[in-house]
Chain A
């Protein structure tokens, strides 16, 4: 009787042995599952990126299908190394039919124009650079003007201004601004942005300056279309 009582705790301890063994197995299985989970998460991230790229390329394809021009799709491979110019490097050049002064756009609107084209690469001067100017129209009122980038103090986002707008023109906020086709670089009808504010030019008082919110997000450019001439 005493012997049985003395042995009882050990018998109960023996009940836990399979648990200890299965705990080891569980830890091993847990480690394997964590590893698999990491791999799957990486795969999901890669698929998400591919999906987003697919969406952007579909949008570009849609633009290509609805234009009468010969277009070349290019990837952005670099930004401007200097702080004083706004430009991009793309992975297409004269071998792909590109030349200087060709319009560059994406599904959202006008981006800029090509400058310094080499055989395999080209530099795109962005519309937000003060040196890049585009002849433009206010879409509803058909008032012409010239759009270019501006560097202002505390410039916390890319910014455009349309100058030489008739001082008597009624400019409503939110009105679309498109290229006018004058000047021969940018084809007519490409969206540039929407008006935000209009004011009489302080220096001359002869015309209005109109602030424009760009249609394109110049901070996130990955693929672009270059208009490389008539079809």
Chain B
């Protein structure tokens, strides 16, 4: 049941992400919600479940994008494995740790995307912008989901 709720949450997040306006004043990026959800899953649940949710998030994002199918799933899958491996070293309750986890997962997605779109100074700058924004979103998502878990007792 909780996994179904998590998948439903991911689908809603992807749909929202596909409707986010592009912030041209910030280098043409839009806010990403999925790195935050992947970070939350990786720092909260066990590895197998976090990986499954990351793959669902990546494949759903690719379905709503012109990206080669599977490229985001690969990135989020790698990020989920690495982040769950680092879980013991990370204090998930610290906002700057949450920000870092979200930003690093966003950067993993960007670095994998560079294999398809090519790398340039503009793209690297855009990657940092997107990662910073994803980090901020991650802090908010952690706060909201932790509160929801306390209130409704999700695991």
Contacts and interface: CB of A to CB of B under 8 A. Distances in A.
Mutual binders A and B: yes
Contacts of A155: 24, 27-28, 122, 126
Main secondary structure of the interface of A (DSSP, over half): loop
B117 interface: yes
For chain B, which range describes its interface: under 10, 10 to 19, 20 to 34, or 35 or more residues?
35 or more
Nearest to A132: B66
Main secondary structure of the interface of B (DSSP, over half): helix
Nearest to A157: B24
A6 interface: no
A137 to B, nearest CB: 26
Contacts of A131: 66, 117
B30 interface: yes
Contacts of A95: none
Contacts of B130: 83
Interface in A185-224: 219
B20 interface: yes
Given A153-B125, A155-B122, A84 B18 contact: no
Given A151-B120, A151-B123, A82 B61 contact: yes
Contacts of B28: 151, 155-156, 158
B76 to A, nearest CB: 12
Interface string A116-155: 1000000101000111000000000000000000111111
Contact of A80 (B64, B110, B118): B64
Given A152-B122, A153-B125, A82 B65 contact: yes
A158 B32 CA distance: 20
Interface of A: 78-87, 89, 115-116, 123, 125, 129-131, 150-158, 219
